[in-house]
Amino acid sequence: MEGIEVTHHPLPPREENFSQRNPHPPQTEPGTGTTSDRFEDLIIETKLKLEAIVPEAAFPSVWGVVAVLADAATSRARRTSDEIPISPTLTETITIAVEKAVSTALQETPAKVPTWAQIARNKGTLQSPIAPLSKVIPPRLGREIIIRSPSMAPDIASRTPSDTVTAINRALPRGHPSPAVASRRLPSGDITVLFRGPITDLPKDDAWILTVFGTGAHRVPRQFVVVAKGVSTSRTGGSLEDLAADIQHANGVKVHAVKPLRSRRAAGPRRSLVISLTEPTDANKLCDQGTIVAAEVCQTEPYSGEIQPRQCFKCFRFGHIARYCREQAGCGRCGGARHARDMICPASTGDIPSVCCNCNGPHPAWSRACRVVQKEWERARNAYSERPTRFSVPNEQYGRVACPPRSTAAPTPTPTTAPNNPARRGPGRPPKRPRAGPDPGPVPAVFGPIDRLREQMLSKVREGTPMLGSDEDDAWEDED
């Protein structure tokens, strides 16, 4: 009864302003509470939405209009019964007032001009032309070769990088301008060798490769792989060698190899071709102009292995393939060791539950229900959206950068101070300088033969040498 008397008191205590009330009152369940409580919840929700759509500078004026209407509506709700719903007319009035206040405030609020500091801070969000993504080619590839040997001896395969570099430099001709500086063994078993200079300085004869790495070793050309999409299957049904020759002739590039891109989908009328080239400029030519295959132009882009999840079918982990796997073979259904060829996994017949070797879940290792598989596919989708469209060839060509010829002309003296800005003397007493003697004046000119002979005599006397016969003897006698 005490609460009812307070609620229906003719002059209930009021707060000073609705905008000063607690913006986060205790939450009640929907459909419960008094009309005033529900109205206050509605106003608070309105305030939060206005803060999200109204500029900060215009919000005080807009909320001032809403607060006045809210105070009036709250007073009306308290004077009436708690069961009376809010009038639709009042709601419409508030909506019209808010729209008018927002439009007026937006017209009166000047647009904020960003400063140069803000532009520099948010330079990543500025509208600028988006450059095509490129697959970066390291400049060191111009100084690196790949050596492959089908049957490398164990003692050669177990060499350290320093031993390999020493053996290569011994096999190269004496005084070779580009000695080997580093080597590395790849997961495939191939060996990369890095030289100090460009690989064009290497001998044309690869006999040194046989000396260092044994019989059958040879140099593998560097390959730049692209993918031609939408190639007609019916028109490219011949041998891959003939197809590579046709692509090379039609596009004017040097093709190393061609093979179809394997896909899990059923064979259709079109497929993608993987084209290997030996020069990055040829690869960019196909990416920029398209690849002509069977008189059709096909869209071409660099091959990227990151656009699909890479799962090993030996250990069923992600990030590598079975060719380079160093783990023990396992089963992708039960999560145990690899079964014999003639043995069926019990998990495939339902005798035991499936166990994922990646997340230990009740599913095979390749199931889309696996969180690890989902994460890998998400990473692949992101990589596809950011895949490169061409190769980024370094500005400098492969090889050493030639220095400009040294100039033989005398260097032009550079004035230390500007002519109009004489150097100022620093603080303190100036240093003592030797005083110059009196100006001797201009040297008198020598006029006649007697003056010339006198100068010659004086110079000989100064030098302390005897005077020889002079050509001016006749003139001396004439003067006497």
Question: For every residue of 81-143, which 3-state class applies, written as one string?
Answer: CCCCCCCHHHHHHHHHHHHHHHHHHHHHCCCCCCCHHHHHHCHHHCCCCCCCCEEECCHHHHH
pLDDT in tens, 144-188: 999 999 888 888 888 999 999 999 999 998 888 889 999 999 988
pLDDT in tens, 347-371: 988 889 999 999 999 999 999 999 9
pLDDT for res 330? 93
pLDDT for res 176? 85
| 409 confidence band (pLDDT: 50, 70, 90) | low
Task: Residue 274: name the closest of 254, 242, 248, 300 by CA.
Answer: 300
Among 101-105, 232-236, 362-366, the least confident range: 101-105
Residue 220 DSSP symbol: E
| Side chain identity, residue 111 | A
d(CA 36, CA 159): 86
pLDDT for res 421? 53
pLDDT for res 81? 43
d(CA 252, CA 240): 18
d(CA 249, CA 164): 40
Task: Residue 223: name the closest of 195, 244, 202 by CA.
Answer: 244
Answer for the pair 80, 35: CB distance below 8 angstroms, yes or no.
yes
pLDDT in tens, 288-347: 999 999 899 999 999 988 888 999 999 999 999 898 898 999 999 999 999 998 889 999
| For residue 460, pLDDT beyond 60 | yes
- Residue-range domains of the chain with CATH: 2-108 (no CATH), 136-220 (3.30.70), 224-303 (3.30.70.330), 306-393 (no CATH)
pLDDT in tens, 178-203: 899 999 999 888 999 999 998 888 88
How many other CB atoms are there within 10 angstroms of residue 55's CB atom? 13
Where is pLDDT greater, at 307 or 396? 307
pLDDT for res 31? 45
C-alpha dist (Å) from residue 435 to 438, 439, 442: 10, 12, 20
| For residue 414, pLDDT beyond 80 | no
Among 64-68, 228-232, 383-387, the least confident range: 64-68
pLDDT for res 35? 54
Q: What percent of the chain has pLDDT over 90?
A: 31
d(CA 108, CA 89): 29
Per-chain mean pLDDT for the chain: 75
| For residue 6, pLDDT beyond 60 | no
Sheet of strand 180-185: strand arrangement: 180-185, 191-195, 144-148, 218-220
The runs of H, that is alpha helices, within 11-34 are none
Answer for the pair 289, 283: CB distance below 8 angstroms, yes or no.
no
Region at 53 (left for phi over 0; alpha for psi -120 to 50; beta for the rest): alpha
Question: For every residue of the chain, which 3-state class applies, written as one string?
Answer: CHHHHHHCCCCCCCCCCHHHCCCCCCCCCCCCCCHHHHHHHHHHHHHHHHHHHCCCCCHHHHHHHHHHHHHHHHHHHHHCCCCCCCCHHHHHHHHHHHHHHHHHHHHHCCCCCCCHHHHHHCHHHCCCCCCCCEEECCHHHHHEEEEECCCCCHHHHCCCHHHHHHHHHHHCCCCCCCCEEEEEECCCCCEEEEECCCHHHCCCCCHHHHHHHCCCCEEECCCEEEEEEEEECHHHCCCHHHHHHHHHHHHCCCEEEEEECCCCCCCCCEEEEEEEECCHHHHHHHHHHCEEECCEEECEEECCHHHCCCECCCCCCECCCHHHCCCCCECCCCCCECCCCCCCCHHHHCCCCCCCCCCCCCCCCCCCCCHHHHHHHHHHHHHHHCCCCEEECCCCCCCCCCCCCCCCCCCCCCCCCCCCCCCCCCCCCCCCCCCCCCCCCCCCCCCCHHHHHHHHHHHHHHHCCCCCCCCCHHHHHHHC
C-alpha dist (Å) from residue 206 to 56, 173, 182, 217: 74, 12, 18, 10
